[in-house]
Amino acid sequence: MSGRMPNAQVQKDRSMHLQKQMIAAHYEALERAPQEGRKVVYTFVPGNLAELLLCFDILPVLPEINALQSGMRRLSGSYVSEAEKHGHSEDVCTYVKCDIGMLKRGNIGPTGRKLPPPDLLLLSYTGCFTFMKWFELLRQEYGCPVAMLHVPYQAQGRIEPHHLQYVVEQLRSEVIPKLEEVTGSRYDEDRLRELMRRAVQAEDDLVAVLESAKHVPSPIDGYFGAVYYIGPIFSAFRGTEQAVDYYRTLRQEVEERLRQGLGPVTPEGPLGEERFRLVVEGPPNWTHFREFWKMFYEEGAVVVASTYAKVGGLYDRGFRHDPARPLESLAEYCMGCYTNLGLPSRVALLESYIREYRADGFLIHSVKSCNSFSVGQLLMLRQLEERTGIPGGFIESDLVDPRYFSAANIKNRVESYLQMLAQKRRAREQA
Amino acid sequence: MAHDLASILRRARALHEDLDLESVRRWKEAHPGAKAIGHMPIYVPREIIHAAGMLPVGIVGGGDQLEIIRGDAYFQSYICHIPRSTIELALSGRLDALDGMLFPSICDVIRNLSGMWRMLFPERYVRYVDVPQNFDPQVGGRFWRRELEALRDDLQRWGGCGGDDDALRRSIAVYNEHRRAVRRLYDARAERPWAYPAPEMYLVLRAGNVLPPEEHIEMLESYRAAAPRDTSRTPKDHARVVLRGAFCEQPPLGLLATLERAGCYIVDDDWLLGLRWLLEDVPLSGDPLDNLAQAYLRASAPAPSRYEPSGDRGRALVDTVRRRRAEGVIFCAPSFCDPALLEQPMLVPALERERIPYTQFKYAEDTGQFSAIREQAGTFSDSIRLWSEA
């Protein structure tokens, strides 16, 4: 049974066009950067210091975004193989191998434009050990300097004062001096505050968009759809006017859908009946992203909240960049990103999503590449089932290695899980 | 303690096979009220546990002696073996002698295992030990000192006796001596590897995971003296190799024996690296927490889990090869070990530049078949002995 509205005309919203323009312009700027003398810094999504980079007029490159874009464009498989030919183990993170493979093939980015080499690698070591090895590998390839920002893990679910002090001191003594050295510009804290003020506007609007899914039916998909919504704010644009405009527009569109009682827009048009409300833990698969999404929307399943949409910050739990305490606020941002949280905090967050978003079920998508996400997920599943009384589903694939996406197997699991939810619902209704 | 080789090895083997931690239970019976604190690889400041009157116990999984019954239900197939056997040990009650557990920051697996521990064993003390990756004494040093202080405060609050600065200085002195004893054994083995077979050497070191350091020093020194007295041990035409990648999940003893039988003398390695993590003595005068913190920044062993600010990842390995007069390197890492496997592509170019031969394979702690490894190691050894330029 299809939950999708039949024969619907697929229409792109204005926000989609805006985002497309922003991304295209960013990659064009990156291609021109060497000629124009603009500095380029590679960095990671979780704990990214977008406002600080903008403060120095630096163009960021986010290798995870390149990898996932390569995955969506079916380029990643050959990049992964290329890296393995160069001695990278089949066991390790495929984001890393996709990036290394892309580099070995000439560093042509996902949009077909050449990516400039980094002037600096900003290793914001947040929530993932592999990040460290990744940039050590890139340092070897590019021979460029690295600014290391060690972000303490929140094992106990709270930021200790000395954690905050440690990160701020690293920003002052390691990150900012290296940004100054690379750009030849002085750190301007007033400018950083201004960028943060703009970031807050976008953050407010993003939260409104994500939390619209609390409404029944949800006007958005909080996982497959949210992947697009989080793009600008988790990458190069937080703190820009473009991001403010994008999120204002997106929020207006979503609120309009809410007023009209419409469901999410899928690649094949607006969803019809919302049959299942799900919470999802774990990143998506990128090589078969639409096929994966289709397994859900064909069954009328909407993801109302996901943890992946929080890897670049838990804005929905109240965090905002604070212009009054700029460096402290950046430190708190880094430490609060989802994969930097201990497992008990992750379980508590998922439990609250299941309750607040009135979910019928929850699904864990476990990816081979990401131990930061994956280790402990089977225990998380049990804990959530115990705490909520709702059965969970568990599926496995990978981020960007197409060899690990078994479509028939995953579809079978998703369908079986949804059938089980439907049976339980019927049983409840008959009781 | 017996000082003859057979007795030393019998004891070391018994400790290795003691999955139920009977030796720790006996220690606790002999020290009423004292606690035992487990820790995962690689490094934790054992001095602080020792100074609190507690027994530090290194946990490195169940090896090839443990059947995994429940542990596999907690981990996907693509995750390394050590967390599943460690969970198996805990769920089967074999770690009940431990009152607490420390999880050093080494990789995402051990990190998340700390959270699993909190959820599975909420009544036990659990601490994630977040070692610094910034090596500025005023930045990383201050952070690490505060982490050490928090650990000391925790242990004191939670039943430790003593643990004041003087007690900590005494413990630092003991561990300085312990590390010296380990280094002396490594030097002796590098000098005469035929006298210190790899599986034996491993067992003797491994005993340091569970023995109080004072006892382990005695075992190390006795073994170092006793092993060469066995006159049946004579040099063979083996290649001298450095082994890298085994710093967390441990290689099975059979694998070590296989490498040696295949013609490789291991003259340096990184198994049980935490026992010799600090490369220099920690000063005894002044603030002991400061001293421990600064020693970590200044004199830690190179390891894949530790950021290398200089960017020269291969230098330390090449230096070790030269210092130990090794003829080749074996990368011997556990399957799915991110730090070790991501490190290898950085080390290989350094070896190639220096024309140092290398080979690589993976294992799991419960690997039972070694024929392919034997063939590979044998070919590697032959190639060094027959064709090496060294």
Q: Do A148 and B309 touch (CB under 8 A)?
A: yes
Q: Which two tokens stand for residue B94?
A: 């074999």
Nearest-by-Cβ selection for A169 from B139, B341, B346: B139
The DSSP code sequence of B30-69 is HSTT--EEEE-SS---HHHHHHTT-EEEE----TTS---S
Interface test with A, best of B139, B305, B344 (most A CBs within 10 A): B139
Q: Do A136 and B313 touch (CB under 8 A)?
A: yes
Distance from CA of A137 to the nearest CA of B (A): 7
Q: Do A378 and B78 touch (CB under 8 A)?
A: no
Whether residue B42 is preceded by a cis peptide bond, meaning omega within 30 degrees of 0, is: yes
Asked if A87 and A66 count as a contact pair (C-beta separation under 8 A), the reply is no
The CB-based long-range contact list for A192-196 (8 Å cut-off, 24+ gap) reads: A192/A51, A192/A52, A192/A55, A192/A323, A192/A326, A193/A323, A193/A324, A193/A326, A194/A323, A195/A51, A195/A54, A195/A55, A195/A239, A195/A240, A196/A51, A196/A239, A196/A321, A196/A322, A196/A323, A196/A326, A196/A329
pLDDT of residue A11: 62
- Distance CA(A264)–CA(A267), nearest Å, equals 10
Instruction: Tell me which chain A residues have a C-beta less than 8 angstroms from the C-beta of B310.
Output: none
Neighbours of A382 (CB within 10 A): 15
Q: Do A91 and B362 touch (CB under 8 A)?
A: yes
Calculate the alpha carbon distances from A398 to A236, A294, A337, A368, A379 in Å: 25, 17, 21, 5, 20
pLDDT of residue B40: 98
Using DSSP, state whether A362 is helix, strand or coil: strand
Neighbours of A55 (CB within 10 A): 25
Interface test with B, best of A90, A98, A150 (most B CBs within 10 A): A150
Instruction: Tell me which chain B residues have a C-beta less than 8 angstroms from the C-beta of A87.
Output: 344-345, 348
Distance from CA of A65 to the nearest CA of B (A): 20
- DSSP bridge partners of B129: B104
A–B CB contacts, 8 A cutoff, strictly below: 163
Q: Do B346 and A128 touch (CB under 8 A)?
A: no
Nearest in space to A408 (alpha carbons), one of A276, A236, A292: A292
Neighbours of B179 (CB within 10 A): 20
B338-353 and A130-142 helices cross at what angle (nearest 10)?
Answer: 20
Q: pTM here? A: 0.96
Distance from CA of A120 to the nearest CA of B (A): 13
Asked if B296 and B290 count as a contact pair (C-beta separation under 8 A), the reply is no
Calculate the alpha carbon distances from B115 to A130, A154, A375, B3 in Å: 19, 10, 10, 42
Q: What is the largest CA-CA distance in chain A?
A: 71
Q: Do B134 and A174 touch (CB under 8 A)?
A: yes
Distance from CA of A315 to the nearest CA of B (A): 23
pLDDT of residue B210: 98
Nearest-by-Cβ selection for A88 from B106, B136, B345: B345
Q: Do B344 and A173 touch (CB under 8 A)?
A: no
Nearest in space to B47 (alpha carbons), one of B214, B249, B205: B214
Residues 120-179 of A with CB under 8 A from B: 125, 128-130, 132-134, 136-137, 139-140, 146, 148, 150, 152-153, 155-156, 160, 162-163, 165-166, 169-170, 173-174
Compute the CA torsion angle B84, B87, B88, B90 (nearest 10 deg): 160
Q: Do B112 and A372 touch (CB under 8 A)?
A: yes
Distance from CA of B139 to the nearest CA of A (A): 6
pLDDT of residue B158: 85
Mean pLDDT by 10 residues, chain B (390 residues): 88 98 98 96 98 97 94 95 98 97 97 98 96 97 97 88 88 98 98 98 98 98 97 96 98 97 98 97 98 97 95 95 98 97 97 97 95 96 81
**Backbone Cα Rg of chain A:** 21
List the pLDDT tens digit at each of the 431 positions of chain A. Answer: 444 444 444 567 899 999 999 999 999 999 999 999 999 999 999 999 999 999 999 999 999 999 999 999 999 999 999 999 999 999 999 999 999 999 999 999 888 889 999 999 999 888 899 999 999 999 999 999 999 999 999 999 999 999 999 999 999 999 999 999 999 999 999 999 999 999 999 999 999 999 999 999 999 999 999 999 999 999 989 999 999 999 999 999 999 999 999 999 999 999 989 999 999 999 999 999 999 999 999 999 999 999 999 999 999 999 999 999 999 999 999 999 999 999 999 999 999 999 999 999 999 999 999 999 999 999 999 999 999 999 999 999 999 999 999 999 999 999 999 999 999 999 989 98
Q: Are strands A265-266 and A269-270 parallel, antiparallel or unpaired?
A: antiparallel
Q: Are strands A276-281 and A301-306 parallel, antiparallel or unpaired?
A: parallel
- Distance CA(B245)–CA(B336), nearest Å, equals 12
Cα angle, residue A96 at apex, residues A37 and B305 outer, rounded to 5° = 105
Nearest-by-Cβ selection for A344 from B108, B115, B307: B115
**What are the φ and ψ backbone dihedral angles of B129, each rounded to 5 degrees?**
-105, 100
Nearest in space to B240 (alpha carbons), one of B351, B315, B321: B321
Residues 325-384 of A with CB under 8 A from B: 342-344, 346-347, 366, 368, 371-372, 374-379, 383
For chain B, say whether A412 makes contact (Cβ under 8 Å): no
pLDDT of residue A362: 98
- Distance CA(B267)–CA(B198), nearest Å, equals 9
Q: Do B311 and A136 touch (CB under 8 A)?
A: yes
Q: Which two tokens stand for residue A77?
A: 């498989």
- Distance CA(B352)–CA(B329), nearest Å, equals 11
Q: Which two tokens stand for residue A222?
A: 């909080």
Nearest in space to A285 (alpha carbons), one of A379, A393, A369, A380: A369
Q: Do A150 and B146 touch (CB under 8 A)?
A: no
Using DSSP, state whether B376 is helix, strand or coil: helix
pLDDT of residue A125: 84
Q: Do A136 and B118 touch (CB under 8 A)?
A: no
Nearest CA in chain B to A343: B115
The DSSP code sequence of A154-208 is BTTSS--HHHHHHHHHHIIIIIHHHHHHHH-----HHHHHHHHHHHHHHHHHHHH
Nearest CA in chain A to B313: A136
pLDDT of residue A12: 74
- Distance CA(A229)–CA(A226), nearest Å, equals 5
pLDDT of residue A1: 40
